[in-house]
Amino acid sequence: MTYNESNLTTIIDAQQELIATVADATFALPLESGIRDSVIALMEDPTTSLADIARTISFDPALAVRLLNIINSAFYSLNERITDVTKALQLMGLGAAREVAEGMSLSRLFSLRKTDDPAFSARQEGLWRHSVATGAAAEVIGRKAHISNDIICFTAGFLHDIGKSAMLTLQAAEYNRILNIAKNEKVSLFVVERRVLGYDHAMLGRLLCNLWGQPDEIGVAVGRSHSVRSGAVDQPYSMLAAVTHMADIFARSLGVGWWGDRIMPRLDPAASISLGLSPDDAAELLDEIAEEYKIKMAHMVRYFPVILL
C-alpha cells in the first residue's frame, strides 16, 4: 500500500480493530510509580523549585502539553501565549497542576518495568533511551533553527517511535517476525511493517497522538518522521516534522538505545535545507545533543531511579 496522508482514512478504516485494541490497552495499563508519582511527590515537597518540577514534567510530554493547553485555554483568558511549563505552573498553581498530573501519564506506554521477558524489557528500555535522545536532539535542533518551543520539539522527538513501543507491546509475536525480516533483509523497519501490516509505526504513532489529544502539529511530525513531505498537495510542509526527522538521525548517530533496525534513515535534504542547517553545523550539533541527552538522563536517574532497570 502506498503511504501518504490522503489514504490515511482508508488505513484507519482497515485498522479500526487495532486502534481500538491500542486505545483499550493504553488506558487500561496501570499507572507506574514512575514519572507521575515523582511529579506529585515533588509538588508536595516544599524545598523543590517550580523549575525542578517543570523539568521533571518535560519527561512526560503529554502532561507538559496538556498543562500548556490548559493554561492557554479560554478559561484562563491570558493576554499572552504561555509556552513555558514553569510559567504555566506559576499561573495555574500546583494544586490544579497536580489534578492534571493525577489524571494522566504517557511515559507508562514505554512499559518501563521489569517483565518476565528480559528481551522485551531491554528493547523497551532501549527504545525509551533512543526516544530521550531523539527528544534531546529535537530540542537542540529546534533551538538552532528557531522552531516552535523546547517542549513541543522535545515531545515530537520523544514520541516519534511511540508506535514501535505500542507494536512491541501489543503485537509481540508478529513484531518479532518483523524485526527478524528487517534484520535479515537489511532494510528499515517501516518498510517491513508496511509490507506485513499495511501500515507503519509512524502512522500508528500519529493515530495514538491524535487519540491522546496531542496538538496536531506533534501528530503530523510523528507521522512524517520518515518522509518529511506529506505526499499530498493540500498538506502544508511541517517544520516540526523536519526537526523530528533530523533528530532521529542525530540520535542514531549517537548510538544510544535501541531502535529496532540497522539502517540509518535516508536524510530528506528538504529537512536540512528548510531548517537552514549546513554540513558545517553537524559536529557541533552532535556534541550539543550529547550534552543535552546527558542532562536529561542525569535528571531521570535522580528522580526516577525506580523505572530504570
Partner 1 sequence: MSTSAQTTNDRNLTVISIEEAAPGMALAEAVYDHNGRMLVSEGAIITTHQQRRMRSHGITHVAIYSAHPPKILPIAQSPEHMPIEDFLKQRQADPFMEALMRAARDRVARLGLLDM
Is the Cβ of residue 150 or residue 206 nearer to partner 1 in the bound state?
A: 150
Candidates 52, 87, 100, 215: give the one binding partner 1 (CB under 8 A).
52
Q: Shortest Cβ distance from residue 44 to partner 1 (Å)?
A: 15
Yes or no: say if 217 and 127 are a contact pair by the CB < 8 Å rule: no
Is residue 236 exposed (0-12), middle (13-18) or buried (19+ Cβ within 10 Å)?
exposed
Contact with partner 1 (CB under 8 A): which of 123, 194, 224, 226?
Answer: 123
The CA-CA-CA angle for residues 108, 84, 47, to 5°, reads 75
* Residue 96 found at the interface with partner 1 (CB under 8 A): no
Asked if 128 touches partner 1 (CB under 8 A), the answer is no
48 binds partner 1 (CB under 8 A): yes
C-alpha cell at 292: 543535552
In whole angstroms, the minimum distance from the beta carbon of 82 to partner 1 comes to: 22
Question: Residue 226 interacts with partner 1 (CB under 8 A)?
Answer: no
Q: How far is the CB of 128 from partner 1 (least distance, A)?
A: 11
What distance in Å separates the CA atoms of residue 30 and residue 26, rounded to the nearest whole number? 9
51-59, 76-84, 86-94, 137-145 -> range binding partner 1 (CB under 8 A): 51-59
Q: Does 249 bind partner 1 (CB under 8 A)?
A: yes
On whether the CB atoms of residues 59 and 73 are closer than 8 A, the answer is no
Which residues, 6+ apart, have CB-to-CB distance to 247 below 8 Å? 134, 135, 137, 138, 141, 153, 156, 157, 160
Give Cα 137 distance to the centre of its chain. 12
Beta carbon of residue 81, minimum distance to partner 1 (angstroms, whole number): 26
From residue 130, give the alpha-carbon distance in Å to each of 113, 156, 223, 252.
17, 13, 17, 8
Min dist. Cβ of residue 224 to partner 1 (A) = 18
Inter-residue contact 157 to 209 (CB < 8 Å): no
Contacts (CB under 8 A) with partner 1, residues 282-301: 282-283, 286-287, 290, 293-295, 297-299, 301
Q: Which residues contact 20 (CB under 8 A, 6 or more apart)?
A: none
> Is 46 a binder of partner 1 (CB under 8 A)?
no
* Selected binder of partner 1 within 55, 98, 113, 195 (CB under 8 A): 55
Cell triple for 22:
491500542
Residue numbers 251-270 binding partner 1 by CB under 8 A: 252-258, 262-264, 266-267, 269
Which set of grid coordinates corresponds to residue 161?
Answer: 517511535
Of the candidates 36, 129, 224, 226, which one interacts with partner 1 according to CB under 8 A? 129
Binding site for partner 1 (CB under 8 A): 47-49, 51-52, 55, 119, 122-123, 125-126, 129, 249-250, 252-258, 262-264, 266-267, 269, 272, 277-280, 282-283, 286-287, 290, 293-295, 297-299, 301-303, 305-306, 308-309
